[in-house]
Structure 1
Amino acid sequence: MIKKPLAIVTMVYNEPQHLTVWKRHYGSQVGEQACYVLDHGSTDGSTENLGDINRVRIPRSPQDDERRARAIGQFCASLLEWYDSVIYVDVDELLVADPERFPSLISFAQSSFLPAVTATGFDVIHRLGTEMALDYSQLISLQRRHIRFSSAMCKTVLIRQPVTWAPGFHCCTEILPDPCPNLFLFHLRYADLDSGLQRLTRTRVQPWCSDTVGQHQRLADTDWSDMLSSMSGLSVTEGELNESDTRFCAYRRSVQNSVSERVNERYRLDIHINGDELYHLPERFIGRL
């Protein structure tokens, strides 16, 4: 049976800004008809006009990351009946295959026959005091030029077989994570101070399945602002983000080393390895996110 090459999936609840970026980015990569938005009861109208993107409505319920990972895993597995590969990303995560080697995510997916691929992850950082508020209707890379390595964003994102994701989608049971040097995940949570605080206002008050989960989504404004300010003030380094870049290789190696110590654990990599400097986004990525 002939299958389509690649589908992209996300799940949202009232994410007007990030969904605008997600739609533009992935629609241009695979075509809107291969994009799937699981709408977890949005009430702000942001999922009403998605063009040819497939919208799947599910009932609103308290945030439960265990349930979410289970449901999304089953949904993505079902899409593998019609697609060779499926990508799941959160709505604030943009995947880019290295532009020096691949013109699109489709060409990257067709080049790999691994059962699953883990991206190398970076947070996009708002440099406070020097960069204006983010305009989500415009390309992110034309407004933000600094990124920070984050092992938490080294997620297993592309699958060619059904997998069992851990909550947060950092890893899965079936395959040991190994960050690919040619697939990059750019996380937008820290890309804008004001919109980040606005999102916190929503996530703090939304229902959760337990008082103990989702604490990073319920921080006080001052704590979140201080965290972003600290990241924004890191020194800046230049690097090409390829296998000749010693810092880049060292970050990937640190994740690989952490995996060897966690083979039998649910979270199979250390999600607390963070860069102690900011990378200046290499020119080849400008215009790609």
Structure 2
Amino acid sequence: MQSVAAAITMVRDDPFFLRTWVRYYGDLLGRENCTVVNHGHGDEVRRIAEGCNIVGIPGDPHKNFDMKRWRLLGGLVQGLRSYYSHVIVGDVDELVVLDPEVGVSLVDWLAQQPIRRLLTPLGIEVIHRPALELEPVSGGILGPRRHVRLAPHYSKPCVISLGTKIARGGHYTQASKLFAPDPLYLFHLKFCDFETYVSTLNQRNAMTETVGGDAREVSIGRHWFAEARGEDREVFARFDDLEMQEGFDLAWVRKRMKRSWKARSDTGFWQFDRPDYRLQYVLPERFVGMF
């Protein structure tokens, strides 16, 4: 059993993304090194995550959802650090990916990295262009989907080998040094498939309705609420307007992250600027089939 890297997430009724998460990290790390927090003790989650470490917690609707979620995840991450050199933490629709150009697996690459630091992969978002990409994603996402957009909001300090506090959402930590390795990416999958997007938001809207209150009152991301949803087809149609870029050299984005690195007011957390880049790229062939 390898002790280089573990992965942990929390999920409730997201079977499409959980299957992808378990298949990806299970193959890379071994399912015995993957932990799934099963919010609501869901039977389907247990079936999909068989072989992983499953932590069941109550699923009763409650306020302060995201605060409690990240408090739990942060505590589990720090516990797992006693047994693994690196712990990868994030939402179930996020995957940390090493550029295949490096020529080694993510585990072998992490084994070569110093510990007692945080690694921040560059955030990119897989987007579905329905008029151009007709193939379903049931057999894998990268291949049927090749378009991505820059997503600085998802450049998260999520590969952890240092004791530090993680902010709600995983977007900030109290580590004062930024390490953003060139070959490391965080793929966000929320928009990877139109039909999956619709069904997932239907489910999340129903959940927030049972909790009651607005996003600020209950500390759940605003994007989970029906009033913030908009018209689904218009959301995906706007991807057509993103400016297409040649190649896939994103070193300039990491340079801007490093130049803008600073303390986040007096909160104790650190941040870089997260501008809205209206740009899209076609993933190189080497990424096809990774998940």
Report the TM range for the smaller structure's normalisation: 0.7 to 0.9
Q: Which residue does the alignment assign to 1:28?
A: 27
Q: Does 1:173 align with 2:168?
A: no
Equivalent residue in structure 1 for 2:237, among 226, 229, 250: 229
Q: Which residue does the alignment assign to 1:216?
A: 223
Shift of 1:125: 0.5
Q: Separation in 2 of the partners of 1:97 and 1:86?
A: 15
Q: Is contact 2:95-2:186 (8 Å) kept?
A: yes
Q: Does 1:192 align with 2:193?
A: yes
Q: Which moved more, 1:224-233 or 1:99-108?
A: 224-233
Shift in CA distance, 32/64, structure 1 to aligned 2, threshold 3 Å = same
Moved over 6 A (4+): none
Shift in CA distance, 232/56, structure 1 to aligned 2, threshold 3 Å = farther
Q: Separation in 2 of the partners of 1:129 and 1:148?
A: 17
Q: Is contact 1:173-1:266 (8 Å) kept?
A: yes
Q: Separation in 1 of the partners of 2:255 and 2:226?
A: 31
Q: How many residues align?
A: 281
Q: Is contact 1:79-1:86 (8 Å) kept?
A: yes
Q: Separation in 1 of the partners of 2:276 and 2:224?
A: 19
Q: Separation in 2 of the partners of 1:168 and 1:134?
A: 30
Shift of 1:133: 6.0
For structure 2, which runs of at least 5 residues remain unmatched after alignment?
Answer: none
Q: Which residue does the alignment assign to 1:76?
A: 77
Deviations 1:139-197 (A, max 9, x none): 21111001011111100111112221111101211244443211111110011112111
Shift in CA distance, 180/3, structure 1 to aligned 2, threshold 3 Å = same
Shift in CA distance, 163/225, structure 1 to aligned 2, threshold 3 Å = farther
For structure 1, which runs of at least 5 residues remain unmatched after alignment?
Answer: none
Q: Separation in 2 of the partners of 1:160 and 1:20?
A: 26
Normalising to structure 2: TM-score of the pair?
0.87
Shift in CA distance, 156/91, structure 1 to aligned 2, threshold 3 Å = same
Q: Is contact 1:10-1:38 (8 Å) kept?
A: yes
Shift in CA distance, 3/99, structure 1 to aligned 2, threshold 3 Å = closer
> Secondary structure at 1:124's aligned position in 2?
strand
Shift in CA distance, 287/135, structure 1 to aligned 2, threshold 3 Å = closer
Q: Is contact 1:64-1:209 (8 Å) kept?
A: no
What is the identity percentage for the equivalent residue pairs of Structure 1 and Structure 2? 28
Q: Which moved more, 1:92-101 or 1:38-47?
A: 38-47
Shift in CA distance, 176/232, structure 1 to aligned 2, threshold 3 Å = farther
Normalising to structure 1: TM-score of the pair?
0.88
Shift in CA distance, 128/49, structure 1 to aligned 2, threshold 3 Å = closer
Q: Separation in 1 of the partners of 2:199 and 2:275?
A: 27
Equivalent residue in structure 2 for 1:282, among 276, 279, 284: 284
Shift in CA distance, 124/108, structure 1 to aligned 2, threshold 3 Å = same
